Structure 1
Amino acid sequence: MLTEFSAVYGFEFDDFQRESCAHIEAGAGVLVAAPTGAGKTIAGEFAVFMAVQTGRKAFYTTPIKALSNQKYNDLVLRYGIDKIGLLTGDTSINSDAPIVVMTTEVLRNMIYANSPTLVGLGYVVMDEVHYLADRFRGSVWEEVIIGLAESVVLVALSATVSNAEEFGEWLAEVRGRIEIVVSERRPVPLFQHVLVGRRLHDLFDDVAPTAVLDGSKVRGDVNPALLRVAKEESRGVRDDARRPRGRSGRGKRAHGHGSGSYGGAAHSDHRERSRYRPPSRADVIETLDRADLLPAIVFIFSRVGCDAAVGQVLGSGIRLTNASERAEISAIAEKHVAGLSAADREALDYDSFLEALLRGIASHHAGMLPAFKECVEECFVNNLIKVVFATETLALGINMPARSVVLEKLVKFNGEIHADITPGEYTQLTGRAGRRGIDTEGHAVVLWQPGMDPRAVAGLASKRTYPLKSSFAPTYNMAVNLVGAVGRERARSLLEQSFAQFQSDKSVVGLARGMARNTDQAARFWKQAECDRGDFEAYARLRAAISETETEAAKSRKADKRAEALDVLLKLDAGDIIHVPTGKSQGWAVVIDPGIRSANTEPHPLVMGEDRQTRRLTLTDFPTPARVVGKMRIPKKFHVKDAHARRSLFAAFTSRLADIDRNPERWRPGAVDEELAARIAELRHELQHHPCHRCPDREAHARAAEKALRLERENRQIETRMQKRTNTIALEFDKICQVLESMGYLAARAGSPDHDLRVTDAGRMLSRIYAELDLVAAECIRRGVFDGLTAPQLAAVLSTLIYEARRSEFGAKPPRMPDATTEQALKEVRAIHREVSLVERDFRIERGPDPDVGFARAAHAWTAGRPLAEILPESGLTAGDFVRWVRQVLDFADQIGKAAADTELSLTCREIRRGMLRGVVAFAAES
């Protein structure tokens, strides 16, 4: 089949592509890790081809809607519209088709609901599977991987990660046979540069590791010219620091033109330093254009910075397109905004956006209107736009390669501080450079910044490390869905198999699977032990209980002895003469120092024995308690290292021993605890009167039962070992279940001896709510907080449970609710949030975020029908953020409506959909 599949492509497959497809054809799952643009989606498309050829279903999952749309269109062109479906949060096209493209969340929800659509599913492709590291949505990928039926062949496609073997090992643990195919070979070699002023320098003296076609680890030496630049710049800084400031050596710096006696020199230094300042953005573009390095993506870690950069370049008068290209751009732009009214276009400043496009310049970031972003993407892919100023989000997802990638800075704000980018981030960003089939090489350009160390840049470029770390964490919604689907114990076992647990302690995943195997084998042995005279399992457990109780009694005696031995040691004083029962120090000894450091530590008495040696003793030297049989004086200034002092003490000790009876009464072993003795007698009586006790085949049954009991004991030992390890995921799940049980979302299953849980009606409602504050939202429904609100009011209140303001959105005035009714509802929401937080505190669970009012007035206004031109300036949001948050409120309202099925509240949620799904929001959903 591989030959037939490859024939439709116009190029020869790479080795890793052929290897991946061969594994899939052989029926194995596969993890394919390869650089951006290497063509790893070939493996995913072959899985789709195999499904078509074998009459099975295939699901192709992606992390974002834009990728789903892109892949849907690709597959429709290949297989026809009848065979391909699309399912995203707001789009459903031909959902019963044999091949369905969907976002990963959709598949997760299908698994929890045990959807009939899963019947006949043979292949699941998880594109961009490294998204499971995403802090907010990463858990979904692991839920799908763990929850899919074992018969489904998994094809996981990942960017190059440094721990692909670890990830593949986990996949094999939870999915069975998974082959790992890793390719570090870039299809287009990548060369590294540093732009100093307006001069482009190679970063490496000879070759760069990323420019080696075979992917071998080649070390490149830093270009000596860059090292000289760094040295010259640092010398200038040192000289400037030594120069007096003004007349007194302090104050303002002299800048020439009569500003002091050092004016001429300062002016010269200023010119020298300016050589190393970053060039203007217009200069960067002109330099790249002269070097034939356009089109380029310039990464700026700020949305505002991206838009400002476009404005600066426009102001310079640069034009990078010809008349033919401008005509194409105009047609593409008109196609993408055709559904927008003239008023909306004006509110969105469409004319400025189009003017930049026509000059071959654009920005690309999450704050843009989706239609504008899609327009930029289409123009860029068609080589019509020459420069895109983008945030790092462009490095993930959409296929927009360029000839070169420019990094203005190697520092970005990570949400808390400005931190250096990591080698993994550098790899992701520069991976966009070099278009397969168009460019023979790609180029990464870093702008020189004052104080830059070229060796550090070379380190970033050389270390192609991108470790994949799980962000998996159980949630309330996940808990009720899993308990409802498979029961508490099975759910707990599934969570112990997560990649997060695997990374925390790899062996826990294997141990959990071992426990499952032991449980199955034990059930078979219990079947073999069945007896026609009675319940042989109960009889076998009686025998085991007697043995365990007798062992417990023996341990109890030993524990009593240890406790008494410790008590005696704690009471020792200097000069006490004792008998040491065992060890190298066995015999008589005199205590020099009791060795008691604190009440919480075990004493280590220093003694002198009959052999004149001094040594420290521990509790292990006293399996039976020591007995003090005499006492003697220890000199106050006795020093162990003083030979004369030791001889004197030993003489006194020997003399004192002569006066002591050396046959003290041995410590009599303690008797069996009366309660344990009574319990043993009771068990023996019950055993002798059990009907299976007189079975002629008793011992044959007992052998099978003992095998089952041995497996159960092994499971208990495994469980103990697992508990001693981190086991954080299962423990967190336990705490979440305790919260849910205390609040009535889970309840003990009637007649279940092992405290199994069932999902209550409230829990089933919660299972339909997927949000960070899911439990707070469910409590609001139960207590009627949302009842009686109009659609705009409900939209405003719901927004407080999902909205999270960006730092740049904080204004001088605190945001407010739109009216008194919503203000009162918010008070009730906050009260419930506090109550839930107190319960979470009791069970040591991290509380969720506080309700955020920042989007409430905008949500209310949009649902009420106010125009975009009025709302956008008031909201302080970009058009893209506004549309995204409206869509999230809309999606949340749909969840609330389903959770509160067949109520007035569900009808109000439908009104929210009718009110919100208009204008730019409806247009974004269709595009």
Structure 2
Amino acid sequence: MSQLDAFTSRLDFGLDPFQRRACEALEAGHGVLVCAPTGAGKTIVGEFAVHLALAGGTKCFYTTPIKALSNQKYADLAAVHGHESVGLLTGDSSINPDAPIVVMTTEVVRNMIYAESRALDGLSHVVMDEVHFLADRFRGAVWEEVILHLEPSVRVVSLSATVSNAEEFGEWIQTVRGDTSVIVDEHRPVPLSQHMLVGQRMFDLFDPADRDPADRKGSRPRVNPELKRHIRHRILLAEDERDSSRGRGRGGGGGQPRRRDGRGPLLSRPNLVGRLDREGLLPAIGFIFSRAGCDAALAQCLRSGIALLTPEEAAEVDAVVDRRLTELSPSDADVLGVQEWREGLRRGLASHHAGMLPTFRHAVEELFVRGLVRMVFATETLALGINMPARSVVLERLVKYNGESHVDLTPGEFTQLTGRAGRRGIDVEGHAVVVWTPEVVPEEVAGLAGARTFPLRSSFSPEYNMAVNLLGRLGLDGARELLHRSFAQFQADRSVVGLARKLHESQRALRKLDGELARAAEARGLEPGGVDATGAPAAGETEAYAGFLGYVTLREEIRRRERDLKYRKRINTEDAIVADLAALKRGHVIGVPVGRHRGLAVIVEPATQAADPKPLVVTEDAWCGRIGLRDFVNPPEVLGNMRLPKNADRRTGRGRRDLASALRSTGIEMPRGRSKKRADAADDPELAQMRRTLRAHPAHQIPNGDELFRLAEKRNRLLRDIVTAERSIGERTSTLGVTFDHIVGVLSELGYVERVREASESTGHNMRVTESGKLLARIYSESDLVVTECIRAGVWDDLSPADLAAVVAALVYESRRDSYGGVDALPGSTSLRTAMAATVDIWSKVTAVESRHRVSPTREPDTGFSLAVATWASGRSLSEALLLAGERGQLLSPGDFVRWNRQVIDLLEQIRLCVGTDTRLGGTARSAVKAIRRGVVAAELG
């Protein structure tokens, strides 16, 4: 019996074709890349890799991007293979690390590789779940490091969401890992229906005449015409209602509450849940792109009294909650609002986001999988691999905040979120519901739903820890060679192929054109140069031809100067128009020179935004609307003033006609003509001199020179194309290498690496890692260089455990807002303030070195969490610590409190291992970890 037959014999379902192909390739000794939709069952391939390792007496590492996924996968595999065969390694957890199967975050296996850990002995398979995470701008490089560094004998099982460039990604893996089978499957095992909820009515998003519009190739999916008609009708009704309410004034009315902006009746969250329940669409996940929004949605449902569970189901919920909260003290339970949270769960309702305590999140996940939570309001982090499939997914908005600004969802994000809909083996189909609002355009939603895939782009970039580890293991040449094998370089090289082809074509066209130009020049007595009988350049001929080319170049420079001056004039004019529009006052009469409503206009409402001023006007033809930059060629001129009534009616047709009549009766007239402003080019001395030089050039008088000049200008364009292509090729192929060289420059100046005069015969290295560099090689932190510099300087040696935790927190924590208050603002002991000041001083010196070597500066220490972690490490209560962990009056959520504490623990553990427990700093770090790891921080690993 084959191992695949043995594996499938214990399954209670058959394998899909793509799963079988991947497993067969794996059993045949190949690596595999599997790209399939969310919920398609990719992880079964990873589980088969686990089976092969156990059957062959070897090891398998199962890696995930986040700790929550590692915890979940550990529980799943332990349930199948037994706890004695499965281990777990994350930043703050170590369970049975010597087991043949170990689940871990990807950073852990990367660190093992760099440390040349004995745990890698006997490793046969590495599963990289959610491998598309390598596009993550902050942590994606770790995936590439692992793929590049693993021994060739290790079979890598890469599991990815569907990406549009799967073949390119697979080709790269084949290049760096050898024989790898690429299996792409775009079929969802549970079909997905797309809907739009408009008020109380649910519509199919796509035209029912289309069988499966999302699978159509090369054409845009057609939107349901009935949906479009209903939305148009609803918008017209809202406009009529708005006009009618203005006519009634503030009195009267009644019935259902309406939006003040006239968008029609609101569908509240309780009504939404009720509608989903009646349609048989629960359990559902409502994605809301803010933690506060999730909690507010839950609170709204709880206030409504809605309940989705029977008394018997509520009792099951109580049992799960009691089991999950066994390690939580009564005082902490009060602070964390356990009673309110439990009440929501007993009604089948919950929220789920990173601000929740991990214990709470895991309870919600367990209850949802068991069908005891019917509606969960969640942020998009839930979509990343956590096993919470639902019958339906609801999106209230298609815009999210990315940390810097509000941006539209990408097709990839839309696919990831809606991929949660449809439970395999339970639902016949899944349902994605978009709630309509006036800013939602059905055609745009159809475009998101029809675009199933997104391109995978590498985020790989050298960092200090990576650089020193590469230099230590591979030397300078080997490190550069590895960078050239990265997916980032592979993608750059692929794009360079197209550029190189374009460069080659331009060079070939230039050679051909030079022949045509030479013949045309010869016909007009301008020999392009040659040789005499002795083989020397023919005197005079080359000079004459060169003079002609110089003349053509001068013509090109004159055109460029004219374009620049014209552009500058346009920008200056636009700036003047914007300034004058912003300065217009109520009652000013101006002339609108262009457009359908050109003529006189009176300002009835000044502009409110200085950046893009658009005052409201009434024109002499009784049109009312806002005018802006595009309505003017020159800055607007105030032609006069008009007295306006205090409550001038510009909302009704009659009111606008009265204002227009009054405007016409003012006697103010539009200017009949405006003298053109002299172009800036006419006053430019540099341009004038260039034109004089051109007119005086001998080539200016060439008879019948049109064809010659046309060919010469074409030659100039080709030369520009060649220069641009060469520059682009140089930039794209050298970016990683240049960044790496700059980082090596920083490391060299600070003494972490040093050059050796001759390469070592044994390793071929020409760059040696110093003892300080070996310290840096064991610190995996965004502030790794500052941490190592502080260890070298000994500025933390005399701190207490609580004070050390506070200083380390400043190098880990990043405020969600700009709330850094400086060292002087930090309460605490004198030794803490002194150590913090020394840490900031070291950071300043590091950034100065980085600036000299053109490396992006290390992030500034942030003391926003320092006092809270010091308070907690001192043994104080959770309520006291939470009060000190807020930003600008906003308390830090319990989930964030636990998460930041665990990141502090992670860095403290690195420091302890780096310097040794027998040192004073190492002992303090160990004590600090023990002091922090208590209560809610230690209650359940998350």
Tell me, in whole angstroms, the C-alpha distance in 2 between the residues paired with 1:801 and 1:202: 50
Match of 1:921 in 2: 937
Query: Are the equivalent residues in 1 in contact too, given 2:238–2:264 (CA < 8 A)?
Result: no
CA separation of 1:256 and 1:909: change in aligned 2, threshold 3 A: same
1:318 to 296, 300, 306: 306
2:807 to 797, 819, 831: 797
2:846 is the counterpart of 1:854: no
2:464 is the counterpart of 1:476: yes
Query: Are the equivalent residues in 2 in contact too, given 1:230–1:454 (CA < 8 A)?
Result: no
Query: Are the equivalent residues in 2 in contact too, given 1:208–1:218 (CA < 8 A)?
Result: no
The superposition leaves residues 391-448 of structure 1 with CA deviations (integer Å, 9 ceiling, x where unpaired) of 0000002110100000010011111111111111100000000000110000000011
CA separation of 1:206 and 1:642: change in aligned 2, threshold 3 A: same
Match of 2:42 in 1: 40
Matches within 5 A, 1:390-789: 390-506=378-494, 581-582=529-530, 594=547, 725-752=732-759, 756-789=766-799
Tell me, in whole angstroms, the C-alpha distance in 2 between the residues paired with 1:458 and 1:884: 38
- Structure 1, unpaired ranges of 5+: 245-252, 510-576, 605-633, 647-719
Query: Are the equivalent residues in 1 in contact too, given 2:287–2:380 (CA < 8 A)?
Result: yes
Tell me, in whole angstroms, the C-alpha distance in 1 between the residues paired with 2:356 and 2:438: 32
Match of 1:228 in 2: 229
How far the C-alpha of 1:90 sits from its partner, in A, is 2.3
How far the C-alpha of 1:80 sits from its partner, in A, is 2.5
Match of 1:842 in 2: 852
2:61 to 53, 59, 62: 59
2:878 is the counterpart of 1:868: yes
Aligned to 2:393, the other structure's residue is in SS state: strand
Matches within 5 A, 1:130-169: 130-169=132-171
How far the C-alpha of 1:236 sits from its partner, in A, is 5.5
Query: Are the equivalent residues in 2 in contact too, given 1:256–1:267 (CA < 8 A)?
Result: no
Aligned to 1:505, the other structure's residue is in SS state: helix
2:373 is the counterpart of 1:358: no
Match of 2:19 in 1: 17
Q: Which amino acid is 1:747 matched to? A: E
Q: Which amino acid is 1:312 matched to? A: Q
CA separation of 1:635 and 1:283: change in aligned 2, threshold 3 A: closer
Tell me, in whole angstroms, the C-alpha distance in 2 between the residues paired with 1:800 and 1:892: 11
Aligned to 2:900, the other structure's residue is in SS state: helix
CA separation of 1:330 and 1:170: change in aligned 2, threshold 3 A: same
Q: Which amino acid is 2:925 matched to? A: C
Query: Are the equivalent residues in 2 in contact too, given 1:278–1:447 (CA < 8 A)?
Result: no
CA separation of 1:761 and 1:411: change in aligned 2, threshold 3 A: same
Of 387-396 and 826-835, more deviation after overlay is shown by 826-835
Match of 1:909 in 2: 925
Tell me, in whole angstroms, the C-alpha distance in 2 between the residues paired with 1:192 and 1:337: 39
Aligned to 1:71, the other structure's residue is in SS state: helix
Match of 2:843 in 1: 833
The RMSD of aligned alpha carbons is 3.6
Tell me, in whole angstroms, the C-alpha distance in 2 between the residues paired with 1:197 and 1:808: 40
Q: Which amino acid is 2:153 matched to? A: S
Tell me, in whole angstroms, the C-alpha distance in 2 between the residues paired with 1:869 and 1:258: 47
Aligned to 2:308, the other structure's residue is in SS state: coil
Tell me, in whole angstroms, the C-alpha distance in 2 between the residues paired with 1:41 and 1:24: 13
The superposition leaves residues 658-686 of structure 1 with CA deviations (integer Å, 9 ceiling, x where unpaired) of xxxxxxxxxxxxxxxxxxxxxxxxxxxxx
How far the C-alpha of 1:355 sits from its partner, in A, is 0.5
Of 76-85 and 767-776, more deviation after overlay is shown by 76-85
Overall identity of the aligned pairs, in %: 50
Match of 2:662 in 1: none
The superposition leaves residues 100-135 of structure 1 with CA deviations (integer Å, 9 ceiling, x where unpaired) of 222211111111111111111111111111111122
CA separation of 1:93 and 1:642: change in aligned 2, threshold 3 A: closer
2:325 is the counterpart of 1:377: no
Aligned to 1:469, the other structure's residue is in SS state: coil
2:915 is the counterpart of 1:900: yes
Aligned length: 747
Q: Which amino acid is 1:256 matched to? A: R
Match of 2:279 in 1: 291
Tell me, in whole angstroms, the C-alpha distance in 1 between the residues paired with 2:696 and 2:51: 91
Match of 2:582 in 1: none
How far the C-alpha of 1:221 sits from its partner, in A, is 1.7
Aligned to 1:388, the other structure's residue is in SS state: strand
Tell me, in whole angstroms, the C-alpha distance in 2 between the residues paired with 1:645 and 1:788: 85
2:86 is the counterpart of 1:84: yes
Query: Are the equivalent residues in 2 in contact too, given 1:865–1:915 (CA < 8 A)?
Result: yes
Matches within 5 A, 1:243-282: 254=246, 256=248, 276-282=264-270
Tell me, in whole angstroms, the C-alpha distance in 1 between the residues paired with 2:697 and 2:940: 89
How far the C-alpha of 1:791 sits from its partner, in A, is 0.9
The superposition leaves residues 432-490 of structure 1 with CA deviations (integer Å, 9 ceiling, x where unpaired) of 00000110000000011123211111111111122212111111111111211222211
What TM-score comes out, normalization by structure 2 length?
A: 0.74
Tell me, in whole angstroms, the C-alpha distance in 2 between the residues paired with 1:75 and 1:210: 36
Q: Which amino acid is 2:794 matched to? A: G
Matches within 5 A, 1:97-108: 97-108=99-110
Of 60-69 and 161-170, more deviation after overlay is shown by 60-69
Query: Are the equivalent residues in 2 in contact too, given 1:236–1:269 (CA < 8 A)?
Result: no
Query: Are the equivalent residues in 2 in contact too, given 1:475–1:736 (CA < 8 A)?
Result: yes
Tell me, in whole angstroms, the C-alpha distance in 2 between the residues paired with 1:645 and 1:187: 70
Tell me, in whole angstroms, the C-alpha distance in 1 between the residues paired with 2:699 and 2:183: 69
Larger radius of gyration: 1
How far the C-alpha of 1:868 sits from its partner, in A, is 0.2
Query: Are the equivalent residues in 2 in contact too, given 1:508–1:727 (CA < 8 A)?
Result: no
The superposition leaves residues 152-196 of structure 1 with CA deviations (integer Å, 9 ceiling, x where unpaired) of 111101111111111111111110111110111111100011111
Q: Which amino acid is 1:112 matched to? A: Y
Q: Which amino acid is 1:791 matched to? A: P
Q: Which amino acid is 1:581 matched to? A: G
How far the C-alpha of 1:721 sits from its partner, in A, is 12
Match of 2:896 in 1: 881
CA separation of 1:499 and 1:349: change in aligned 2, threshold 3 A: same
Aligned to 1:801, the other structure's residue is in SS state: helix
How far the C-alpha of 1:278 sits from its partner, in A, is 4.2
CA separation of 1:308 and 1:835: change in aligned 2, threshold 3 A: same
Aligned to 2:789, the other structure's residue is in SS state: helix
2:288 is the counterpart of 1:300: yes
Q: Which amino acid is 1:921 matched to? A: V
Query: Are the equivalent residues in 1 in contact too, given 2:38–2:419 (CA < 8 A)?
Result: yes
Aligned to 1:816, the other structure's residue is in SS state: coil
Aligned to 2:880, the other structure's residue is in SS state: helix
Tell me, in whole angstroms, the C-alpha distance in 1 between the residues paired with 2:327 and 2:199: 45
Of 51-60 and 351-360, more deviation after overlay is shown by 51-60
Query: Are the equivalent residues in 2 in contact too, given 1:301–1:412 (CA < 8 A)?
Result: yes
Query: Are the equivalent residues in 2 in contact too, given 1:186–1:215 (CA < 8 A)?
Result: no
Query: Are the equivalent residues in 2 in contact too, given 1:362–1:388 (CA < 8 A)?
Result: yes
How far the C-alpha of 1:76 sits from its partner, in A, is 2.2
CA separation of 1:817 and 1:801: change in aligned 2, threshold 3 A: farther
Tell me, in whole angstroms, the C-alpha distance in 2 between the residues paired with 1:817 and 1:16: 60
Tell me, in whole angstroms, the C-alpha distance in 1 between the residues paired with 2:728 and 2:272: 59
Aligned to 1:102, the other structure's residue is in SS state: strand
CA separation of 1:75 and 1:508: change in aligned 2, threshold 3 A: farther
CA separation of 1:394 and 1:271: change in aligned 2, threshold 3 A: closer
Tell me, in whole angstroms, the C-alpha distance in 2 between the residues paired with 1:490 and 1:351: 59
Query: Are the equivalent residues in 2 in contact too, given 1:424–1:465 (CA < 8 A)?
Result: yes
Aligned to 1:771, the other structure's residue is in SS state: coil
Aligned to 1:92, the other structure's residue is in SS state: strand
